[in-house]
């Protein structure tokens, strides 16, 4: 009896000694603090970048070059809507008047893209800028811009093929359709609701259905480019443009498709899109090459190469929205991954220190590795979906009760 007592005493003493010697586990900040801090710092960064852009009429920021010098582009570059769109999200958070002025000014710079009919990016360009502006201010003149943009995008839909053509035809592809195109469908869904003309949403549904049929592999990863024969409407090629190989899972492409189906379920209520979104989510979350911090390598088949912060941000934002549409167990699983991603992106590993990174918010994006273009750099769309995801976390997780 006595020896048992002594053994217990020794065991307890041992546990205390081990506790005392081990380094104390750092207490993780709570998400509210992380979000507030990240957004306040982002507001400061974008005010500086915005002022710089005010001195460059007609241009939008794009990235940094190898000498850390700002690279700009005209509104015709596919990313033109993201800088104004991020300004709108930052305005939504704090109602800062200086940010509002910048948001309006940078949005106006994109307006001429409402007439874009030679590529599919009109959705990104017009809806991220004017769409957010309309949502937050109700500015009536923005309605016409967005509706015109939707009409322009619709001209790229071919009834026989049943898809919107992404890029122009060339020697390699007659009718290329890329997975990214799923993102442009939100513009069409909006246009039907606004105009009462169901043509727009019907195009979006047909495109989304055919993309499920043709773009996805059995494991629910997707090809980047599917090209069609314009005479027979049959698939002529399954390729990549920005991924490691035709058969690989280019990270940002996977997240464009994922986000696109979550959005299409929100917009149409069609269960097949929810089902597709869940399948893609499971592919991404369970992928053996998804790193511990949950920020994907630029291609899921290129482990230990560059990370792509933009893919991490897009995935986090889509997971948070998907968490609102599924049962509690799945919801928790998706929020846990998204939270890990946001903690990673808001950490020193990805979130730029004050006065660095050309005042873009995030570091470590990859534009197109096969073209050695925009390697390990800031990207305006990484910033956009990161801030969107932070606001979604705040809305869904912190303000819901
Ligand atoms: N849509 C082009 C890209 O994601 O890089």
- Torsion sign (Cα): 45, 50, 56, 60: positive
Main-chain dihedrals φ then ψ at residue 237, nearest 5 degrees? -160, 145
Residue 340 has pLDDT above 50, yes or no: yes
Contact 361, 352 (CB under 8 A): yes
**16 domain residue, yes or no:** no
163-175 pLDDT, tens digit each:
999 999 999 999 9
pTM of the full structure: 0.94
- The average pLDDT across 110-134 equals 98
Q: What is the CA(25)–ligand 1 centre distance, in A? A: 40
Catalytic residue (one of 65, 118, 121, 197): 121
* Residue 260 within a domain: yes
Q: Is 266 inside a domain boundary?
A: yes
- Residue 364, C-beta contacts closer than 8 angstroms, at least 6 positions apart: 295, 306, 307, 308, 309, 349, 350, 376, 377
pLDDT band at 400 (very low <50, low <70, confident <90, very high): confident
Overall domain count for the chain: 1
Q: How confident is the model at residue 31 (pLDDT cuts 50, 70, 90)?
A: very high
Q: Average pLDDT in the 358-362 region?
A: 98
Query: Is 349 part of a structural domain of the chain?
Result: yes
* 373 pLDDT above the threshold of 90: yes
**Mean pLDDT, rounded, for 13-25:** 50
Whether the pLDDT of residue 5 is over 70: the answer is no
Find the residues whose C-beta lies inside 6 A of ligand 1.
78, 180, 242, 252
d(C-alpha 182, C-alpha 262), whole Å = 10
Domain assignment present for residue 14? The answer is no
For residue 23, tell me if it sits in a domain. no
**Domain assignment present for 138:** yes
Report the C-alpha gap between 359 and 46 in whole angstroms: 6
User: What does the pLDDT average to over 376-388?
Assistant: 99
Task: Answer whether 219's CB lies under 8 Å from 348's CB.
Answer: no
**CB neighbours of 159 closer than 8 A, spacing ≥ 6?**
none
So what's the pLDDT on residue 27? Answer: 82
Report the range of poorest mean pLDDT among 6-15, 106-115, 200-209, 357-366: 6-15
The predicted pLDDT at position 194 comes to: 98
Q: How far apart, in whole angstroms, are the C-alpha atoms of residue 367 and residue 373?
A: 6
Q: 78 alpha carbon to ligand 1 midpoint, in Å?
A: 8
Dist. CA 240–CA 245, nearest whole Å:
6
Range of the structural domain that residue 130 is part of: 28-395
Mean pLDDT of 89-118: 98
Can you give the pLDDT at residue 22?
52
CA-closest candidate to residue 156, choices 106, 105, 112, 200? 200
Does 22 fall in a domain? no
pLDDT number for residue 401: 59
Among 81, 128, 167, 252, which is best to mutate for testing ligand 1, by the most ligand atoms less than 8 A from CB? 252
Confidence (pLDDT) at 319: 98
CA 401 to each of CA 62, 394, 395: distance values in angstroms, whole numbers, following the listed order: 38, 11, 10
What pLDDT is recorded for position 6? 54
Return the ligand 1 atom nearest residue 367 CA: 5
Q: For residues 57 and 106, give the distance between their C-alpha atoms in angstroms, rounded to a whole number.
A: 9
In the numeric block, the tokens 């939100």 are attached to: 186
> What's the average model confidence in pLDDT over 107-125?
98
Name the active-site residue from 65, 96, 144, 180. 180
Query: Can you tell me which atom of ligand 1 is nearest the CA of 124?
Result: 1
Note the pLDDT tens digit of each residue in 293-320: 999 999 999 999 999 999 999 999 999 9
| pLDDT at position 32 | 97
Looking up tokens 């846990």, which residue turns up?
A: 336
The residue-averaged pLDDT of 47-70 equals 98
Mean pLDDT of the chain: 95
180 is catalytic: yes
Average pLDDT over residues 274-298: 98
pLDDT at 176 over 70: yes
Count how many Cα atoms sit within 13 Å of the Cα of residue 135 in the half-sphere of its side chain. Answer: 14
Q: pLDDT for 204-245, tens place per residue?
A: 999 999 999 999 999 999 999 999 999 999 999 999 999 999
Q: What would the mean pLDDT of 54-82 be, rounded to a whole number?
A: 98
Q: State the SS3 of the chain.
A: CHHHHHHHHHHHHHHHHHHHHCCCCCCCCCHHHHHHHHHHHHHHHHHHHHHHHHCCCCCEEEEECCCCCEEEECCCCCCCCHHHHHHHHHHHHHCCHHHHHHHHHHHHCCHHHHHCCCCCCHHHHHHHHHHHHHHHHCCCHHHHHHHHHHHHHHCCEECCCCEECCCCCCCCCCCEEEHHHHHHHHHHHHHHHHHCCCHHHHHHHHHHHHHHHHHECCCCCECCEEEECCCCCCEEEEECCCCCCCCCCEHHHHHHHHHHHHHHHHHHCCHHHHHHHHHHHHHHHCCCCCCCCCCCECECCCCCCCECHHHHHHHHHHHHHHCCCCCHHHHHHHHHHHHHHHHHHCCCCCECCCCCHHHCCECCEEEEHHHCEEEEECCHHHHHHHHHHHHHHHHHHHCCC
* pLDDT tens-place string over residues 239-258: 999 999 999 999 999 999 99
Instruction: Look at residue 68 and tell me whether its pLDDT is greater than 70.
Output: yes
Mean per-residue pLDDT, 322-347: 98
Mean pLDDT along residues 91-105? 98
Q: How confident is the model at residue 7 (pLDDT cuts 50, 70, 90)?
A: low
Rounded Cα distance between 366 and 80, Å, is 17
The Cβ of residue 217 has, within 10 Å, a number of other Cβ atoms equal to 12
C-alpha 180 to ligand 1 mean position (Å): 7
119-133 burial string, b = 16+ CB within 10 Å, else e? Answer: bbbbbbbbbbbbbbb
Percentage of the chain lying above the pLDDT 90 cut: 93
Query: CATH no. for residue 53?
Result: 1.50.10.10
| Whether 395 contacts 32, CB under 8 Å | no
18 — pLDDT class (breaks 50, 70, 90): very low
């Amino acid at each position: 009896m006595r020896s048992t007592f002594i053994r217990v005493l020794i065991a307890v003493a041992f546990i205390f000694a081990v506790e005392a010697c081990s380094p104390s586990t750092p207490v993780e900040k709570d998400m509210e603090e992380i979000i507030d801090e990240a957004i306040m710092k982002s507001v400061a960064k974008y005010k500086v970048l915005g002022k710089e852009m005010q001195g460059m009429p007609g241009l939008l920021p794009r990235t940094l070059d190898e000498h850390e010098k700002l690279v700009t582009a005209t509104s015709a570059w596919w990313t033109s809507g993201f800088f104004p769109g991020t300004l709108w999200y930052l305005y939504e958070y704090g109602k800062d008047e200086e940010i509002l002025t910048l948001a309006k000014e940078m949005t106006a710079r994109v307006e001429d893209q409402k007439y874009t009919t030679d590529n599919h990016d009109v959705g990104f360009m017009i809806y991220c800028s004017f769409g957010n502006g309309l949502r937050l201010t109700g500015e009536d003149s923005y309605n016409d811009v967005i509706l015109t943009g939707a009409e322009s995008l619709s001209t790229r839909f071919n009834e026989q093929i049943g898809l919107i053509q992404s890029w122009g035809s060339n020697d390699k592809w007659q009718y290329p359709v890329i997975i990214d195109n799923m993102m442009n469908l939100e513009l069409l869904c909006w246009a039907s609701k606004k105009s009462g003309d169901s043509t727009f949403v019907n195009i979006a549904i047909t495109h989304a259905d055919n993309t499920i049929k043709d773009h996805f592999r059995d494991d629910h990863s997707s090809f980047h480019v599917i090209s069609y024969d314009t005479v027979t409407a049959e698939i002529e090629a399954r390729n990549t443009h920005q991924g490691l190989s035709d058969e690989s899972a280019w990270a940002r492409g996977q997240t464009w498709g994922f986000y696109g189906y979550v959005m299409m379920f929100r917009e149409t209520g069609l269960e097949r899109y929810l089902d597709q979104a869940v399948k893609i989510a499971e592919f991404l979350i369970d992928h053996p090459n998804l790193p511990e911090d949950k920020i994907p390598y630029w291609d899921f088949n290129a482990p230990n190469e560059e990370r792509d912060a933009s893919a991490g941000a897009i995935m986090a934002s889509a997971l948070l929205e998907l968490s609102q549409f599924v049962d509690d167990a799945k919801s928790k699983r998706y929020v846990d991954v998204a939270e890990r991603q946001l903690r990673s992106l808001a950490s020193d590993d990805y979130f730029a220190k004050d006065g660095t990174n050309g005042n873009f918010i995030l570091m470590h994006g990859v534009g197109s590795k096969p073209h050695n273009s925009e390697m390990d750099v800031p990207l305006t769309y990484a910033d956009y979906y990161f801030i969107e995801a932070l606001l979604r976390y705040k809305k869904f997780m912190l303000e819901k009760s």
